[in-house]
Amino acid sequence: MNCQHSIIKKEMVIVRRWSFTLVEVLVVLGIFTIMAGAILTFLTSSNRAWHVGQGKLREQQQARLAIENIANFLRRANPRWDSTHVAYSSEGNTRVDFYTPYFYADCCPNRCMDNSICRDTDGNYHSRGEISGLSKVTFKLLDEAGHPGRFELWMKEGISASRRIAGNIISLAFSCGGSGCTPGGPVDENSSYVNVAITTQENDQYILQSQIALRNNNLTVEDDISVQEPAEGEF
C-alpha cells in the first residue's frame, strides 16, 4: 500500500513539473511575441519614415535642379533685344521664352588661327566680347507619362535637341518683375527680372521660389544679328 502511495506521489510531482514547464514556455512565447511585434512595428515605421524622407529629398532636388537650370540661362537674357526678340511667358505662365547672347571668340580679331570666326556676314571683323548672335531658350511643362496631374520640365536652346530637366512637378509659374511691368503679370519686354515659383510633389508638396535678374539689359544687337531658334511650333 505504501509503495502504491509513493508511486502516485511521484507521478503527481512529475505532472506538476510538466505543468509548470508548459506555463513557463507559454509565458516566454507570449513575451517573445510581444517583443517581436514591437520590433516589427518599429521597423515598419522606420522604413516608412525613411521612404517619406527620401521622397521629400527627391522633391527638393527636382525643384532646385529646375530653378538652377532656368536661372543659369535666364540671367543672360535681355527682356527686349529688339522689336522681335523679346522675352515672354505664355498664357497660364507655364512656359517662358527668351533670348541669350553668344559672343565672338576670345582671340578675335587678330589672334585667331582662322580669322573667319571673327567676321560677320558682311565681312566685318569684330572683337571678343561683341555679340555674334542670339539663341532662343524655352522652358516649358510637358505631361509626365503615367502620372496624371504631374509634369516634367523640358528646355530647348537654339536648334539643339530638347532635353528633360526635372520631374515630379505639379505647377510652375513665371511672372514679371520690375518697375516697368505689372507685378505678377506675364513676362514681357518690360521685365527687369523674372519671378519663378515651382511646386514639386512625390509625397508632400515642396514649393521653391526665386527671383532672377536679367543681367544684359544694357546690351544691344544689330538689326541683322544671327538668331538660332527652332521653327515655329517645333517646341
Residue 75 lies in a domain: yes
What is the per-residue pLDDT for 101? Answer: 94
How many CB atoms within 10 Å of residue 102?
A: 13
Rounded to 5°, the CA angle 99-158-64 comes to 70
Residue 220 lies in a domain: yes
Measured between alpha carbons, how far is 99 from 157 in angstroms, rounded to an integer? 9
What is the per-residue pLDDT for 100? Answer: 95
Residue 6 pLDDT > 70 = no
Measured between alpha carbons, how far is 32 from 82 in angstroms, rounded to an integer? 79
Residue 3 pLDDT > 90 = no
Residue 38 lies in a domain: no
Q: What is the pTM of this model?
A: 0.75
The shares of helix, strand and coil residues in the chain, as percent rounded to the nearest 5, are: 35, 30, 35
Residue 210 lies in a domain: yes
Letter string b/e over residues 130-141, b meaning 16 or more CB atoms within 10 A of that residue's CB: bbbbbbbbbbbb
Residue 178 lies in a domain: yes
**DSSP assignment of 103-167, as one string?**
E--TTTTTS-SSGGGGB-TTS-B--TTSEEEEEEEEEEEEEPTT-TT-EEEEEEETTSPPEEEEE
What is the per-residue pLDDT for 72? Answer: 94
When pLDDT is cut at 50, 70 and 90, the band that residue 227 belongs to is very high
At 20-69, the pLDDT tens digits run: 676 777 777 777 777 777 776 666 666 665 565 666 788 889 999 999 99
Letter string b/e over residues 183-217, b meaning 16 or more CB atoms within 10 A of that residue's CB: eeebbbbbbebbbbebbbbbeeebebebebebebe
Measured between alpha carbons, how far is 210 from 89 in angstroms, rounded to an integer? 16
When pLDDT is cut at 50, 70 and 90, the band that residue 220 belongs to is confident
Domain count, the chain: 1
Contact in structure between 197 and 207 (CB atoms under 8 Å): yes
Q: Please state whether the peptide bond connecting residue 109 to the residue before it is cis, i.e. omega within 30 degrees of 0.
A: yes
Residue 176 lies in a domain: yes
Residue 226 pLDDT > 60 = yes
State which residues form the domain around 97: 64-103+132-228
Mean per-residue pLDDT for 168-196? 89
What is the per-residue pLDDT for 149? Answer: 85
Q: Take residue 233 and report the three cell numbers written for it.
A: 511650333
